[in-house]
């Protein structure tokens, strides 16, 4: 049974940093594209970043490119999002999601999210 | 610019057919996908590659595509279908992910 569980969210002051984690079970994350997607309170979905199965290619949305970094640890079957210089507008529920083996979309499995509050 | 546009809301009576549109230039080159998000829950993929239905998704969910518009159709809407629906695609270069703004479906 494929499952994704995010952690690492919390309350952080503006300008601070946070590292989100996403542990996968039931599949091997290095076989798939993996993404981070967030949702601000009462707002829609916003794609942030994805990493290729090989780990050799990453891409980030322009809104976070200079501040967020996606990475993964195959040994731990885990995905990460390093966030720095956090702003109030980064307050959101952060989801990790699985893509395809050959494409970063669509996303067929999602975690339940971890909440980041910047205040 | 690469933007996906959805109507903010759609309302239908239970048992009727709901149609939710998503438009954008990128859709002439890229596939579109649809997600359902019930309150307090993570999104669920309900349609991929314009009109394919993942296993476990009821047959009343279908998708279509014409030019720069994709459509999600829910036939015989049930109360449990009340949710926010998001379309997803990529920009015309296939590099960045795009989400529509979301459509709230209400079964009156």
Distance set, CA B99 to CA A26, B24, B26, B33, B69 (Å): 27, 11, 11, 9, 14
Q: Are B106 and B63 in contact (CB under 8 A)?
A: no
> Contact A47/B97, CB-based, under 8 Å?
yes
pLDDT in tens, B60-76: 999 999 999 999 999 99
Contact A44 B100 (CB under 8 A): yes
Q: Which of residues 27-66 of B touch A (CB under 8 A)?
A: 33, 35, 37, 41-45, 48-49, 54
Q: Please list every residue in chain A whose beta carbon sits closer than 8 Å to the beta carbon of residue B95.
A: 59
Name, in order, each residue with C-beta under 8 angstroms of A7's C-beta and a sequence gap of 6 or more. Answer: A20, A21, A22, A23, A114
3-state secondary structure of A74: helix
Q: What is the per-residue pLDDT for B1?
A: 61
Which has the closest alpha carbon to B35: B106, B100, B107? B100
**Counting beta carbons within 10 angstroms of the beta carbon of residue B79, is it exposed (0 to 12), middle (13 to 18) or buried (19 or more)?**
exposed
Q: Which chain A residue's Cα is nearest to B42?
A: A112
- Local confidence band at B108 (pLDDT 50, 70, 90 cut-offs): confident
CB contact under 8 A, A44 and B101: yes
For B102, which of A44, A50, A95 is closest by C-beta distance? Answer: A44
Q: How confident is the model at residue B47 (pLDDT cuts 50, 70, 90)?
A: very high
User: What's the pLDDT at B2?
Assistant: 84
* CB nearest A45 (choices: B43, B49, B89): B43
d(CA A75, CA A47): 26
Q: In what order do the strands lie in the sheet with B61-66?
A: B18-23, B69-74, B61-66
- Give the A:B interface size as CB pairs under 8 Å: 53
| pLDDT tens, residue by residue, A32-50 | 999 999 999 999 999 999 9
Residues of chain A with pLDDT below 70 are none
- Smallest CA–CA separation between A113 and chain B, in Å? 7
CB contact under 8 A, B99 and A46: yes
């Amino acid at each position: 049974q494929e499952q994704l569980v995010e952690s690492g969210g919390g309350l952080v002051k503006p300008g601070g940093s946070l590292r989100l984690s996403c542990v996968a079970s039931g599949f091997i994350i290095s076989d798939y594209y993996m993404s981070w997607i967030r949702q601000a309170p009462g707002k829609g979905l916003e794609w942030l970043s994805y990493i290729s199965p090989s780990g050799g290619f990453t891409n980030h949305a322009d809104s976070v490119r200079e501040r967020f970094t996606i990475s993964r640890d195959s040994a731990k079957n885990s995905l990460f999002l390093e966030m720095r210089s956090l702003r109030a507008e980064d307050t959101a529920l952060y989801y990790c999601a699985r893509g395809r083996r050959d494409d970063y979309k669509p996303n067929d499995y999602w975690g339940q999210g971890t909440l980041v509050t910047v205040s | 610019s690469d933007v996906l546009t959805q109507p903010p809301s759609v309302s239908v009576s239970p048992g009727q057919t709901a149609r939710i549109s998503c438009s954008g230039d990128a859709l002439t080159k890229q596939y579109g996908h649809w997600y359902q998000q019930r309150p307090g829950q993570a999104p669920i993929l309900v349609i991929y590659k314009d009109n394919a239905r993942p296993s476990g998704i009821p047959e009343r969910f279908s998708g279509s595509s014409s030019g720069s518009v994709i459509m999600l159709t829910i036939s015989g809407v049930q109360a449990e279908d009340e949710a926010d629906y998001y379309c997803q695609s990529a920009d015309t270069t296939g590099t960045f992910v795009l989400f529509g703004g979301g459509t709230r479906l209400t079964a009156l």
